[in-house]
Amino acid sequence: MPLNLKELSKKPELLSPGHRACAGCGSVVAIRQALMAVDGPVVLAFATGCMEVSTTIYPYTSWRVPYIHNAFENAGATISGVETAYRALKKRGKIKGDIKFIAFGGDGGTYDIGLQSLSGALERGHNFLYICYNNEAYMNTGIQRSSATPFCAATTTSPSGTVIPGKTQFPKDLTAIVAAHNIPYLAQASPHNWRDYIGKVKKALDIEGPKFINVLSSCFRGWRTQPVTSIDIVKTAVETCFWPLYEVENGEWKLNYMPKEKLPVAEWIKVQGRFKHLLKEENKPLLQEFQDWVDKQWDILLQKTGDTVHKVVV
Amino acid sequence: MLFRSNNSILWLLKFRISKFNILKTEATTEPILICGNEAIGEAAIQAGCLAYFGYPITPQNELTAYMAARMPEEGRVFIQSESELAAINMVFGASALGVRAMTSSSSPGISLKQEGISYLAGCELPAVIVNISRGGPGLGNIGPAQSDYFQATRGGGHGDYRTPVLAGASVQELADVTFLAFDLADRYRTPVLILGDGILGQMMEPVKFIHPEPVDLEPKDWILGGAKGRPPRVVKSLFLGTGALDAHNRKLQERYRIIREKEVRCEAYMTDDAELIMVAYGITARLCREVVRNLRRDGHKVGLFRPITLWPFPSLKIAELCRTAKRFLSVEMSYGQMVDDVRLAVNGKLPVEFFGNGGGEILTVGEIEEYTRELISS
């Protein structure tokens, strides 16, 4: 199927309407787009989180495909079990045809409590795709900081006050941690660039072995923005190089999008209430620290992808 | 006197003052309107908790958020861990340094903490663990439940250990037992559980933070605070030599015997002439109190017995009540857990009935009353 809007609009959605996610939820968009890349049978596993809670309020379900949820910390292990059972049944000729396996987890269930489980599944080499819908905090339980929460972001467990300016740490680089597992394919994506993102999911599903995609998903409740900006805001994250789009295929790092003009990270920060204290005059050094961090991470990435900053054409 | 029919909080205070001399009666502040989760947090801070380690889970998130904001203000430490497992082991680390440390969670998260609780018990390290419980098993739901009673009162993790379990029935009492929890933990070098539920954690009531009198706690001569100028110390739960583990376990059991003897807390309400005595704790006891009032109005001789310490369970008090009562009724938001302890205490002398649901949804006064009326007329 060619990747164009006309064809995609014909595809039946695997996540049906009527789920209980917020209007303007970036994670739902990220998940619907990912599933547009699926042809044929698929089994989904979810870690505890917004998307699990809002799509499966038993006895209701929004899923038109088989779905499994276990607990918070083990989407990687749960999908490992399902995929192993599938292989065992297939070996004995009890299942014919190909089934794809996709595990979804938020940043809490992936960066934090689910990291061990994910790492184990990647190392063992199960044939599955793990997609982290990263909305940069524990949004399901009421906006607590995670190790994906950006520097200085205010959350209920990293509140900004007169002394402490929100979260005092920078987020960990989960995509690089996954890359260190030397799996056949991994990528970073954003739903605003649907062609790039859906293409990555498609590519990943065609590859044998463990695959991983980290997709930035806005949460207007936690980011303190307006629901209508859910897609614009992740685009700005990419344009500021806070969230670069890249992939690593068999160890080859490749940048998928080079902004024509690298915007200052303040452009992304200033539209989000969780950073509003950063715009105060006295917090300028913190904003600079944030910008320096983005610049450094961007440089490190470009070294890996072999791109040079000269490519930036103003 | 260990046991008295009286107003709950006042009775609790009198009892504690006379028996242990650890609570001041005068309030240190005007009452403030605060939810149960926040009340536990504030009481912990006032009790000298220097380190709090939390992780998100509903319905206890207000406690974590409260500590995130308040602990740094007091120059204390708040850490959000990467998992419940990490949080309980951070408590282990802090406690080994002699610091008053606390963690909190709700049922599924408390399950994850069980390894750490077992190690704390084995290593004789004080700690306070708060369970604002919810429906189970598995993911269950986020409604209030009392179905973690077995897990809380039987140790919960591996090995032969117990932990004191304190169950308040109001936001005020949650604050009160939090002060108590830290003292019990230090006095007996044991992890102490506070067992609440989703309703108590989230409902708001006026609270006064009543500081206990300074207790004569033994100096912590076991902390791992640096061995300069003294022989090194060891805190461990590993005992490999022949008989070594048993000697250690005997020591723990002796301590549990003392806790059973000295630390029982309970409340009795209209039990003196009661023929039917309802037994309930936590939020369920609040419902049963209303049922008792309604039934008394119609002339039925009904009373309420409320354990505040679920372990040690007030078995002797229940045995005493067997002399005057004719029947017991255990009411729980579980399908029958505390009722086992009531039956053990009654020891076959009287019938023990049970009424409850599986938790995750609160019982109503109406349904408890209906069952109790049927029981009385049967």
Shortest alpha-carbon distance between residue A75 and chain B (Å): 14
- Chain B contact for A147 (CB, 8 A cutoff): yes
Look at residue A229 and tell me if it is in a domain: yes
The CA distance from B23 to B17, in Å, is: 6
Q: Residues, chain A, total?
A: 314
- Chain B contact for A107 (CB, 8 A cutoff): no
Residue ranges of chain B whose CB lies within 8 Å of a chain A CB: 54-58, 61, 64-65, 68-69, 72, 78, 80, 82-84, 108, 112, 138-139
Please state whether beta strands B309-311 and B302-307 pair in parallel, antiparallel, or not at all (unpaired): unpaired
HSE of A174 in the Cβ direction (CA atoms, 13 Å)? 34
Question: Is B56's CB within 8 Å of A141's CB?
Answer: yes
Do B291 and B368 contact (CB within 8 A), yes or no?
Answer: yes
Domains of chain B and any CATH numbers: 6-262 (3.40.50.970), 266-377 (3.40.50.920)
Q: Give yes or no for residue A311 having a pLDDT over 60.
A: no
Q: Give yes or no for residue A290 having a pLDDT over 90.
A: yes
Q: Model confidence over A156-171: pLDDT tens digits?
A: 999 999 999 999 999 9
Average confidence (pLDDT) over A141-152: 98
Say yes or no: ipTM exceeds 0.95: no
Out of B57, B78, B82, name the one closest to residue A147 (CB): B82
Residue that has been written with the tokens 């029919």 in this structure: B5
> Which residues of chain B have a CB within 8 Å of the CB of A113?
55, 82-84
The CA distance from A211 to B270, in Å, is: 66
- Chain B contact for A164 (CB, 8 A cutoff): yes
> Which residues of chain A have a CB within 8 Å of the CB of B63?
none
Question: Is B61's CB within 8 Å of A144's CB?
Answer: yes
A55: containing domain: 18-305
Look at residue A224 and tell me if it is in a domain: yes
Mutate to test the interface with B, among A138, A157, A169 (most CBs of B within 10 A): A157
Question: Is A161's CB within 8 Å of B69's CB?
Answer: yes
> Which DSSP string do the residues of A76-137 spell out, in sequence order?
HHHHHHHHHHHHHHHHTTSS-S--EEEEEEEHIIIIITTHHHHHHHHHHT-S-EEEEEE-SS
The CA distance from A131 to B240, in Å, is: 46
Shortest alpha-carbon distance between residue B319 and chain A (Å): 42
Q: Strand, coil or helix: what is B273?
A: coil
Do B176 and B212 contact (CB within 8 A), yes or no?
Answer: no
The CA distance from B104 to B56, in Å, is: 9
What tokens appear for B204 in the block?
Answer: 């708001």
Q: Model confidence over A1-38: pLDDT tens digits?
A: 678 999 999 999 999 999 999 999 999 999 999 999 99
What tokens appear for A197 in the block?
Answer: 């993102």
Question: Is A156's CB within 8 Å of B57's CB?
Answer: no
Mutate to test the interface with A, among B79, B139, B202 (most CBs of A within 10 A): B139
Q: Crossing angle, helix B244-262 and helix B171-188, to 10 degrees?
A: 140
Alpha helices by DSSP H, A158-260? 174-179, 194-205, 220-223, 230-239
The CA distance from B208 to B196, in Å, is: 18
Shortest alpha-carbon distance between residue A173 and chain B (Å): 15
> Which residues of chain A have a CB within 8 Å of the CB of B69?
159, 161
> Which residues of chain B have a CB within 8 Å of the CB of A138?
56
**Which residue of B lies nearest to A142 if distances are taken between CA atoms?**
B61
Shortest alpha-carbon distance between residue B131 and chain A (Å): 16
Look at residue A121 and tell me if it is in a domain: yes
* Percent above pLDDT 70 for chain A: 98
Do B330 and B339 contact (CB within 8 A), yes or no?
Answer: yes
> Which residues of chain A have a CB within 8 Å of the CB of B56?
108, 138, 141-142, 144, 157
CA A261 vs CA A197, A234, A302: distances in Å: 21, 16, 15
The CA distance from A299 to A297, in Å, is: 5
**Which residue of A lies nearest to B85 if distances are taken between CA atoms?**
A113
Do A25 and A190 contact (CB within 8 A), yes or no?
Answer: no
Digit-by-digit pLDDT tens for chain B (378 residues) are 233 333 333 333 333 333 333 333 344 568 999 999 999 999 999 999 999 999 999 999 999 999 999 999 999 999 999 999 999 999 999 999 999 999 999 999 999 999 999 999 999 999 999 999 999 999 999 999 999 999 999 999 999 999 999 999 999 999 999 999 999 999 999 999 999 999 999 999 999 998 888 778 889 999 998 999 999 999 999 999 999 999 999 999 999 999 999 999 999 999 999 999 999 999 999 999 999 999 999 999 999 999 999 999 999 999 999 999 999 999 999 999 999 999 999 999 999 999 999 989 999 999 999 999 999 998
> Which residues of chain B have a CB within 8 Å of the CB of A163?
72
Give the CATH number of the domain where residue A298 resides.
3.40.50.970
pLDDT at B1 (0 to 100): 29
pTM for the full predicted model: 0.91
Sheet architecture: strand order including A211-216: A67-69, A42-46, A100-106, A129-134, A211-216, A185-189, A246-249, A252-255
Question: Is B57's CB within 8 Å of A112's CB?
Answer: no
Look at residue A52 and tell me if it is in a domain: yes
Out of B57, B68, B72, name the one closest to residue A156 (CB): B68
CB contact residues (below 8 A), chain A span 180-239, against chain B: none
Look at residue A108 and tell me if it is in a domain: yes
Q: Look at chain A and report how many structural domains it folds into.
A: 1
Mutate to test the interface with B, among A48, A74, A144, A164 (most CBs of B within 10 A): A144
Out of A112, A113, A157, name the one closest to residue B64 (CB): A157
pLDDT at A1 (0 to 100): 66
Nearest residue to B171 (alpha-carbon basis) of B40, B27, B57: B40
Shortest alpha-carbon distance between residue A141 and chain B (Å): 6
Question: Is B61's CB within 8 Å of A147's CB?
Answer: no
- Chain B contact for A163 (CB, 8 A cutoff): yes
What tokens appear for B20 in the block?
Answer: 């242990």
Peptide bond into B164 cis (omega under 30): no
Look at residue A187 and tell me if it is in a domain: yes
Q: Model confidence over A163-216: pLDDT tens digits?
A: 999 999 999 999 999 999 999 999 999 999 999 999 999 999 999 999 999 999
Look at residue A297 and tell me if it is in a domain: yes
Look at residue A247 and tell me if it is in a domain: yes
The CA distance from B359 to B142, in Å, is: 10
Q: Is B332 exposed, middle or buried (0-12, 13-18, 19+ CB in 10 A)?
A: buried
